[in-house]
Chains A and B, each alone.
Chain A
Amino acid sequence: MLAQFLDGELEHARSEDLERHLEVCRSCCSRAEFERVLKTQLAGVGRRNVEPAFVERIRQLIGELPGRPSKDPPAR
């Protein structure tokens, strides 16, 4: 339940209950803080600087893509 709370996926009422608990339970509060910081560090891994040459490759690709977007669903 803590994971869903930190992910912002817990329904409002349960989220409020958990927040109230975290205010009074030092152990759970410490655990939540640990998981929150680790989650933030992981989010940092999700971004990587891109080389200008790669940006240029994508610009060129978009410029050269043919035609108008179709209405077909993406292939899965």
Chain B
Amino acid sequence: MHEPTSEVERAWFAAEVEPLLPELYGAALRLARNETDAEDLVAEAVARAWTHLGTLDRRAAFRGWLFRILTNCFLSERRAGIARVSSEPYGDESEEGGFSIFDRLHQPILLWWGNPEREFLNKLLREDLERAVDALPDPFRVAVVLADLQGLSYKETAEALAVPVGTVRSRLARGRSLLQRALWAHALDVGLRSERKEEKPDV
């Protein structure tokens, strides 16, 4: 059965989706980690969103809802891997004692005439950040992509992942810690930084 509201809905849907494509594609690229799969992921999410548009409670919530569907499309292909991976340990990162680049760089004595942490950030390239995000294990990468790359709230991220807000908080903490560790390792590799003797041991 075809109703006249259908084409109005379709025009509204197209007008909502198109401006979001750079963000959807940006998120999909970091989830799928290659361009072809990322484009297919966005297309699948758009098709699924249209099919289930009737379940969207508030149109103002469209963006978060669409990212939730994008995430579900990605996770549904990886679900077995996620379930297995989420119970595995990843190094010694914990919510309280994660890796911090700031702690490696900050030198209070230089406060007035130097800012090594700002210099570090200035030298960071987009591709450095992309590589570090891509290296995160799935559960942490998805949380970082939604909350940090797309600015979703903890609640929206929790809804997208179907986990409690506390789980989002801890995955973000671990994900960010792993991310900073990867950025730091890369900086050492390419000679942006060198380990100083007085630095804290890698605990």
Chain A complexes with chain B: yes
Complex Cα spacing A68 to B6, Å? 5
Within 139-179 of B, Cβ neighbours of A (below 8 Å) are at 144-145, 147-151, 153-154, 162, 169, 172-173, 176
Q: A45 and B18: CB pair below 8 A?
A: no
Q: Evaluate whether A47 and B23 lie within 8 angstroms (CB atoms) in the complex, with A41-B121, A68-B2, A74-B48 already known.
A: yes
Q: A45 and B21: CB pair below 8 A?
A: no
Stretch of B83-91, B123-131, B190-198 on the interface side: B123-131
Within 33-76 of A, Cβ neighbours of B (below 8 Å) are at 33-35, 37-39, 41-50, 54-55, 57-59, 61-63, 65, 67-76
Q: Evaluate whether A55 and B121 lie within 8 angstroms (CB atoms) in the complex, with A42-B149, A48-B26 already known.
A: no
Which residues in B have their C-beta under 8 angstroms from that of A37?
A: 118, 121
Q: B42 and A58: CB pair below 8 A?
A: yes
Other-chain contact of B30, A26, A45, A67 (Cβ < 8 Å): A45
Q: B117 and A30: CB pair below 8 A?
A: yes
Complex Cα spacing A50 to B25, Å? 7
A23 at the interface (CB under 8 A from B): no
Q: B43 and A57: CB pair below 8 A?
A: yes
Q: A69 and B25: CB pair below 8 A?
A: no
Interface residues on B, range: 35 or more
B17 at the interface (CB under 8 A from A): yes
Which residues in A have their C-beta under 8 angstroms from that of B162?
A: 76
Nearest Cβ on chain A to B94's Cβ, whole angstroms: 13
Q: B25 and A62: CB pair below 8 A?
A: no
Q: Chain A, 1-38, contact with B by CB distance < 8 Å: what is the 0/1 string?
A: 00110011100000000000000001100110111011
Nearest Cβ on chain A to B146's Cβ, whole angstroms: 9
B188 at the interface (CB under 8 A from A): no
Complex Cα spacing A61 to B21, Å? 13
- B79 — nearest CB in chain A belongs to which residue? A76
B5 at the interface (CB under 8 A from A): yes
Q: Chain B, 1-32, contact with A by CB distance < 8 Å: what is the 0/1 string?
A: 11101100110011001100111011101100
Chain B interface (Cβ within 8 Å of chain A)?
1-3, 5-6, 9-10, 13-14, 17-18, 21-23, 25-27, 29-30, 39, 42-43, 46-55, 69, 72, 76, 101-102, 106, 108, 111, 117-118, 121, 124, 126, 129-130, 133, 144-145, 147-151, 153-154, 162, 169, 172-173, 176, 180
Interface CB pairs A-B, < 8 A, 15: A7-B172, A9-B153, A34-B106, A42-B133, A43-B148, A46-B149, A47-B23, A50-B22, A54-B42, A58-B18, A65-B51, A68-B6, A69-B54, A72-B52, A74-B49
